[in-house]
Structure 1
Amino acid sequence: MKKQFAVIGLGRFGSSIVKELVDQGMQVLAVDINEDKVNEFAGIATHAAIADTTDENTLRSLGIRNFDHVIVAIGDNIQSSILTTLMLVEIGVSHITVKAQNDYHEKVLNKIGADKVVHPERDMGIRIAHNIVSKNVLDYLELSDEYSIVELQAGPQVHGKTLIELDVRAAYGCNVMAVKRGDDIHVSPAADEALYTGDVIIVIGADRDITRMELDLFDDDTA
């Protein structure tokens, strides 16, 4: 059975979520107080509704409690975001993800019962910064304040060496989750897996350990 999602707020962030969920075959209710935005998604989402989601009766009339997951993607109106989230919690929605504008906003959302709070602009900024600072980092996903998943590009300095020779786990406390070579992906690669220039290594670990490993094994001053 397809999961049912509701996305409240159809700005850039909410719109992209609606489109991606629809592309994945999910049932999606798109909600916004702006009629023009709702009309834009009338032919994209499963259902689209014009609604003031800070009103509990309005939310109940949408049958919001029956949705598996509600994403609150309201843009700059922090008050509406908080009130909407509070209403969803009180109604008993099973899972609520909310976009936060800042750290204070996040603290309030966590206090009132949001299941997950995201900072899309901040998180994208972090990823871009990592890509700019290091030529070896292809992508970066923050798991917590201290742990991340990073895609590193192998250069000539590790060409032909196996994972056991590089001693990634013992020396750096990091785990290689997968190695991508062209269209091939080797998940949980064996210790005798050799790396070659151009390979993409997906690593999970503490940020300080990943940085240390990158400097030792992947930094190529000649590039």
Structure 2
Amino acid sequence: MKSILIIGLGRFGHHLCTEMTRLGNEVMIIDKSEAATEDLLAYATAVKVGDCTNEDVLRSLGVGNFDICFVCIGANFQSSLEITSLVKELGAKYVVSKANRDIHAKFLLRNGADEVFYPDRDIAERLAVKYSANHVFDYFELSKDYSIFEIQPRTDWIGKTIGQANIRAIYHVSVFGIRTGSELIVLPRTDYVMGRDDHLMVVGLTKDIDKMLASIK
């Protein structure tokens, strides 16, 4: 369990609050609009209303007591930049800020953000990968080089064990999970026999997974 501060309650901030709470974290939220906080009263551990471009408001939150501070202001970049800088100056341990453009990300990183995220771009990239390939059920980028894919097995793998298919040796990709129906098998044994309806969770260099996907028929 972590202590989380979320500043700014647009659509992304709302979703972040509910998911963080669902995962057992303690979440404080703050927005300058009281109306933006009302539907999260049942989720958040603490709810505040205030303008976080005001240093006194931020200081009153005790930002240094949180494990992570999220700055989720996307519509007003100047406010996002000011708040990111102030939060870090006030002793925040780790600051994650929302960016809409690369130039915004550069300024945020230079002014206190430890990490930036692009929700619209990230979702677009994920959907593009997922729907451009015939054999991909889901996709998650771990870094610019490594990814996780949920894929269907090659036809010639069906009825074979993971060991017999020799996936790691041939493609340099690791199978770390099997989704079969509603069940997820984590770290399957090499003697697991793959079925037609199985979904393989594979991880590796994106370029290696792309080569493997190109071979699936």
TM-score, length basis structure 2: 0.92
Q: What's the counterpart of residue 135 of structure 2?
A: 136
Unpaired stretches in structure 2, ≥5 consecutive residues: none
Q: CA deviation at 1:43?
A: 4.0
* Cα distance between partner residues in 2 of 1:116 and 1:88: 13
Kindly indicate whether the alpha-carbon contact (under 8 Å) linking 2:148 and 2:201 is maintained by their aligned counterparts in 1.
yes
Matches of residues 45-194 of structure 1 in structure 2 within 5 Å? 45-154=44-153, 156-194=155-193
* Cα distance between partner residues in 1 of 2:45 and 2:187: 38
Q: Deviations over 1:114-151 (max 9, x none)?
A: 22211111111111111211121111111111211111
Q: Percent identity?
A: 36
* Cα distance between partner residues in 1 of 2:114 and 2:154: 41
Q: What's the counterpart of residue 198 of structure 2?
A: 199
Of 127-136 and 164-173, deviating more is: 164-173
* Cα distance between partner residues in 1 of 2:142 and 2:106: 18
- Helix, strand or coil for the counterpart of 1:80? helix
Q: What's the counterpart of residue 5 of structure 1?
A: 4
Count of residue correspondences: 217
* Cα distance between partner residues in 1 of 2:35 and 2:202: 44
Paired amino acid for 1:205: G
Kindly indicate whether the alpha-carbon contact (under 8 Å) linking 1:4 and 1:28 is maintained by their aligned counterparts in 2.
yes
Calculate the aligned-residue CA RMSD, in Å: 1.7
Of 114-123 and 180-189, deviating more is: 180-189
* Cα distance between partner residues in 1 of 2:192 and 2:2: 39
* Cα distance between partner residues in 2 of 1:162 and 1:25: 37
Unpaired stretches in structure 1, ≥5 consecutive residues: none
